[in-house]
Structure 1
Amino acid sequence: MTKYNLMKKVHNLLTFGFDSQPRRFISWFIISLICLNVLAVILGSVDTIGRDYHDLLFGFEIFSVAVFSLEYILRVWSCTVEPKYSHPFTGRIRFAVSPLALTDLLAILPFYLPFLIHVDLRFLRTLRLLRLFRLGHLKRFNETSRMILNVLRERREALIISFAIILLLIIFTSSLMYFVENPAQPEVFKNIPDSMWWAVMTMTTVGYGDIYPITALGKLLTSIISILGLATFALPTAILSAGLLEEFQNKKEIHEHICPTCGQEIPKT
């Protein structure tokens, strides 16, 4: 087997896919390892578990980093089989700075950083959660992400307008509530920026309860603003939902006019 054929085989095996038994096994192994790493980070944040199972969690971390490091090295080594990364040096540099390769690097970098520089270990443990983004290698995930980005691009004007309406409503309602409630409780509604916190919590119906009106007019305004908030914050959701439905419909129509055998477009009758 030539070096190029070996690189091509390694590249195909490390590309997430489920069309063959070896690729299916490697893909599920990496996916499972990523999910277990996220679970280990979550469980390790519990003091009793982190203390009692420290050796087990650390051993699993070493094993995971070894696997991810080997995978990253093999990806960089074999990336030159792709035409856009064909140059043995600059091609690998371009691959290394691509979003997915940077995600791979960030998945293993937190383990090696303490050996190079002094850094907060708690921050590094949090960075390990970035391994979850490696699932972006999945083809279906990429296709869905592209669909969402297309919708955001096509509906950007409507989304900008809807968010502008939300911002204006927050400014208006917080200013109004400040002038209504400040005389009654100046220590709570100190200024308009503080009132904005109340406006956001009220319009999103979160209602933490740390800031609330006590005057009759303030309570009436809060009731009206809560209803307005529900309707206003539903605008971006409705725009995105309509865009996604349209995108799915377009994709369905395209697939219906493609021959599953030859891949050619079926003439419309």
Structure 2
Amino acid sequence: MIIKISTMKEKIFNIIQIGDKSNRISRAFDIFITFTIICNIIVTFLETFDQLTSFGGLFTMLEHASVLIFCIEYALRIWTADYLYPEKTPGRARFCFLISFDGVVDLLTIIPVFFLSGFIIFRMLRVARIFHLFRLNAKYDSFNIITTVLYEKRNQIISSVFIVMVLMLASSMCMYSVEHNAQPDIFRNAFSGIWWSMSTLLTVGYGDIYPVTTLGRVMAICIAYLGVGAVAIPTGIISAGFVEQYQRKSSLSSMKDADIQEIAEVFVDKRYAGKTIEEMEEEQNIKIFLVLRDDLSVLPQKNMVLKLNDIVIIRIENEA
């Protein structure tokens, strides 16, 4: 009986967590959840129209039905969390899921329906349902590339954001010092200068706050030019990361068809994450020489488990 429950639990995990495209049930579940999320968001959007108040009962019914589905999915994800974190104890695995991005988004998706007439913060949490789509899309390679690039380039992006913040603070203080006497009602404090510097440095240009003195305008011209460069820094970093990632990400099937005999890099995606080195070598008829994980170079062992975003150095084995 215990074995049957364990087998059923693993099957449910494979359906709701992995998102395997070759698994028709998992694929159908993804489509169903996507439809439910979109339906829930549309209902939330339509509820804001006074002209549609006559459909309030229908909207409430659809919302409760979709939230019920979310509750069931949330409960199943907690139940199967020990498969998501196999190296942890069941209790620890469930706790890790609850505090993870997926777990928090799922919880914030459910909470608001029970407090719709309460504080405004609970009504604002309904917006969190939109982020449910990010969690769903993260199962697929297109979104995984984006998250991988942001993760790999996180230090450079943080540094560029820090530069922007320093420029924003410096320019706001300078503009406040120059414009406060000329426009005491507009540049009342340093925060007014921050609002102006944000719209200028990020090239938004709202135009609700602007300098009127000659010195202030000269400074605004210089700061506007700095803003163009400041925005270009993280943009260039992310663009370079995408180029690197697309060059690195080659499917094993295409390499086998090309009969590559030399060393190549392969990006470990959802299909191979969780498999051992031995399983991947036998399944794809390859030889793995090195595993690049984070900032480390790891010599492969047969029982070593591959993780998402690992990079493996391989060579296609000649078939006899």
TM-score class normalised by the smaller sequence: 0.7 to 0.9
Deviates more, 1:73-82 or 1:191-200: 73-82
Give the equivalent residue in structure 2 for 1:6: 8
Q: Is the 8 A contact 1:85 1:95 kept in 2?
A: no
Q: Is the 8 A contact 1:85 1:94 kept in 2?
A: no
Give the equivalent residue in structure 1 for 2:121: 123
For residues 159-204 of structure 1, the C-alpha deviation after alignment (integer angstroms, 9 at most, x for no partner) is 4443343333333333333343333333323344422322222222
Give the equivalent residue in structure 2 for 1:40: 43
Residue 196 (structure 2) pairs with residue 177 (structure 1): no
Cα distance in 1 for residues equivalent to 2:183 and 2:85: 68
Would the alpha carbon gap of residues 92 and 267 (structure 1) be closer, same or farther in structure 2, given more than 3 Å must change? closer
Cα distance in 2 for residues equivalent to 1:183 and 1:94: 54
Residue 34 (structure 2) pairs with residue 31 (structure 1): yes
Q: Which amino acid aligns with 2:208?
A: D
Give the equivalent residue in structure 2 for 1:235: 233
Paired residues in the alignment total 259
Give the equivalent residue in structure 1 for 2:284: 262
The root-mean-square deviation of aligned C-alpha atoms, in Å, is 3.3
Would the alpha carbon gap of residues 93 and 167 (structure 1) be closer, same or farther in structure 2, given more than 3 Å must change? closer
Secondary structure (helix, strand or coil) at the match of 1:19 reads coil
Structure 1 unpaired stretches of 5+: none
Give the equivalent residue in structure 2 for 1:139: 139
Cα distance in 2 for residues equivalent to 1:74 and 1:209: 51
Question: Which is bigger in relative contact order (C-alpha 8 A, separation at least 6)?
Answer: 1
Identify which of 75, 79, 86 aligns with 1:77.
79
Identical residues among aligned pairs (%): 31
For residues 111-161 of structure 1, the C-alpha deviation after alignment (integer angstroms, 9 at most, x for no partner) is 2356xxx832x5334323323333314422345423321221xxx1x4444
The structural deviation recorded for 1:244 is 2.9
Give 1:195-206 correspondences, 5 Å limit.
195-206=193-204
Give the equivalent residue in structure 2 for 1:215: 213
Cα distance in 1 for residues equivalent to 2:217 and 2:93: 64
Cα distance in 2 for residues equivalent to 1:25 and 1:32: 11
Q: Is the 8 A contact 2:84 2:93 kept in 1?
A: no
Q: Is the 8 A contact 2:202 2:227 kept in 1?
A: yes
Cα distance in 2 for residues equivalent to 1:236 and 1:123: 32
Cα distance in 1 for residues equivalent to 2:190 and 2:96: 49
Tell me the TM-score normalized by structure 1: 0.79
Q: Is the 8 A contact 1:4 1:81 kept in 2?
A: no
Structure 2 unpaired stretches of 5+: 256-263, 267-280, 287-313
Cα distance in 2 for residues equivalent to 1:191 and 1:86: 52
Q: Which amino acid aligns with 2:118?
A: V
For residues 46-77 of structure 1, the C-alpha deviation after alignment (integer angstroms, 9 at most, x for no partner) is 2333x222111100011112212222223333
Higher helix share: 1
Q: Is the 8 A contact 1:170 1:196 kept in 2?
A: yes
Q: Which amino acid aligns with 1:262?
A: Q
Secondary structure (helix, strand or coil) at the match of 2:188 reads coil
Would the alpha carbon gap of residues 200 and 14 (structure 1) be closer, same or farther in structure 2, given more than 3 Å must change? closer
Deviates more, 1:253-262 or 1:30-39: 253-262
Would the alpha carbon gap of residues 213 and 52 (structure 1) be closer, same or farther in structure 2, given more than 3 Å must change? same
Would the alpha carbon gap of residues 222 and 17 (structure 1) be closer, same or farther in structure 2, given more than 3 Å must change? same
Would the alpha carbon gap of residues 64 and 243 (structure 1) be closer, same or farther in structure 2, given more than 3 Å must change? same
